């Protein structure tokens, strides 16, 4: 590997917006197209991303799959500090995070970091290390509120919210270090595929906000059982054969694969050809 890993961070201070689900599906897309992928889970309480991957590892062993049949990432744990002194705790977490990143950075093409749905020092460290930040959000003004303050009476955006400010701060720091600009992508998750997106007011406001605070809006994932049903086996829709029989299951399978392919190609990741998704 000539260059260090491109760091992809899944972040949104709104809990349950789809960060871990998206992290897992992006991992599968990148790994199945032959890339070496690293993984760090900064949600030290729920650990959904790593729980998903642990299930995958068990499934892999049980069925004696090869690395090619069921690729795994290089995983590194980062423990939260339990020191009561905040400065000491932050110093410990900085050291742990830096050590984990360094162990992966030079030997992978991509490093995927999943963040908790709350503000934490580890989450801020993750965002500061990002080349690409992906923020999944549901089509709801509650989720929108984490990105921008909105005046419902005048129907206008007043300004960025705390989370947007935090991403902006990371962007500023990168610019000062003369690193390439941070790419921030907001994707819709769990949307209803039967609603005309263009006529939906959250979508409209999101497009306005993207121009104002500088993120790109990517096509996201519809609400589909296939995004959650394979968790216990640690699999994704990219790892399984096309279901035969039930036409609606087949349609959902194909649509989910298309959505993942579209999202990953929209990320414009260095060295990634979306045609390679197996």
- Pick from 1, 15, 142, 204 the residue near ligand ATP by CB under 6 A: 15
Which single residue brings its beta carbon nearest to ligand ATP? 117
Nearer to ligand ATP, 221 or 272 (CB): 221
Residue 224 burial (10 A CB sphere; 0-12, 13-18, 19+): middle
Helices (H) and strands (E) in the chain, counts: 8, 9
Binders of ligand ATP in range 21-40 (CB under 6 A): 21
Site string for ligand ATP, 205-244 (x = CB under 6 A): ----------------x-xx--xx----------------
Question: Measuring CA to CA, which residue among 184, 265, 186, 264 is closest to residue 24?
Answer: 264
Using the rule CB under 6 A, is 16 a contact of ligand ATP? yes
Using the rule CB under 6 A, is 52 a contact of ligand ATP? no
Whether the Cβ atoms of residue 113 and residue 40 lie closer than 8 Å to each other: yes
Q: Smallest gap, in angstroms, from Cβ of residue 106 to Mg ion? A: 27
Nearer to ligand ATP, 117 or 234 (CB): 117
Q: CA 193 to CA 119: how far, in whole Å? A: 31
224 contact choice in Mg ion, ligand ATP, none (CB below 5 to 8 Å, kind-dependent): ligand ATP
Q: Smallest gap, in angstroms, from Cβ of residue 27 to ligand ATP? A: 13
Using the rule CB under 6 A, is 18 a contact of ligand ATP? yes
Q: CA 258 to CA 237: how far, in whole Å? A: 10
- The dihedral built from the CA positions of residue 130, 9, 78 and 42, taken in this order, carries a sign that is positive
- The dihedral built from the CA positions of residue 76, 183, 256 and 140, taken in this order, carries a sign that is positive
Residues in Cβ contact with 53 at an 8 Å cutoff, skipping those fewer than 6 apart: 24, 27, 39, 72, 73, 75, 234
Nearer to Mg ion, 140 or 242 (CB): 140
193 contact choice in Mg ion, ligand ATP, none (CB below 5 to 8 Å, kind-dependent): none
3-class DSSP state for residue 54?
Answer: helix
Binders of ligand ATP in range 92-151 (CB under 6 A): 116-117
Q: Smallest gap, in angstroms, from Cβ of residue 227 to Mg ion? A: 13
228 contact choice in ligand ATP, Mg ion, none (CB below 5 to 8 Å, kind-dependent): ligand ATP
Question: Measuring CA to CA, which residue among 59, 58, 51, 92 is closest to residue 75?
Answer: 51
Retrieve residue 245's tokens: 């029989």
Number of residues that bind ligand ATP (CB under 6 A): 19
Nearer to ligand ATP, 157 or 256 (CB): 256
Report the interface residues with ligand ATP, using CB under 6 A: 15-21, 43, 46, 48, 116-117, 189-190, 221, 223-224, 227-228
């Amino acid at each position: 590997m000539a260059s260090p890993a491109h760091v992809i961070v899944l972040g949104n201070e709104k809990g349950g917006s789809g960060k871990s689900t998206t992290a897992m599906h992006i991992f599968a897309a990148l790994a199945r197209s032959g890339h070496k992928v690293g993984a760090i889970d900064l949600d030290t309480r729920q650990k959904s991303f790593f729980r998903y991957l642990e299930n995958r590892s068990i499934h892999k062993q049980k069925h004696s799959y090869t690395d090619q049949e069921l690729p795994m990432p290089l995983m590194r744990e980062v423990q939260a500090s339990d020191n009561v002194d905040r400065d000491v705790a932050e110093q410990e977490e900085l050291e742990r995070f830096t050590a984990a990143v360094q162990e992966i950075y030079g030997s992978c093409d991509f490093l995927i970091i999943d963040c908790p749905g709350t503000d934490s020092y580890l989450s801020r460290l993750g965002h500061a290390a990002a080349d690409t930040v992906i923020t999944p959000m549901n089509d709801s003004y509650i989720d929108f509120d984490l990105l921008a303050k909105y005046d419902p009476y005048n129907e206008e955006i007043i300004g960025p919210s705390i989370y947007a400010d935090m991403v902006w701060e990371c962007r500023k720091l990168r610019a000062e270090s003369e690193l390439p600009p941070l790419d921030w992508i907001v994707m819709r998750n769990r949307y209803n595929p039967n609603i005309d997106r263009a006529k939906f007011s959250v979508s409209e406001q999101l497009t306005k906000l993207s121009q104002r605070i500088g993120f790109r809006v990517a096509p996201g994932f519809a609400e589909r059982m296939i995004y959650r049903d394979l968790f216990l086996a640690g699999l994704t829709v990219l790892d399984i054969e096309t279901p035969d029989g039930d036409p609606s299951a087949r349609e959902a399978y194909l649509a989910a694969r298309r959505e993942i392919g579209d999202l990953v190609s929209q990320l414009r990741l260095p060295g990634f050809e979306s045609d390679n998704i197996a």
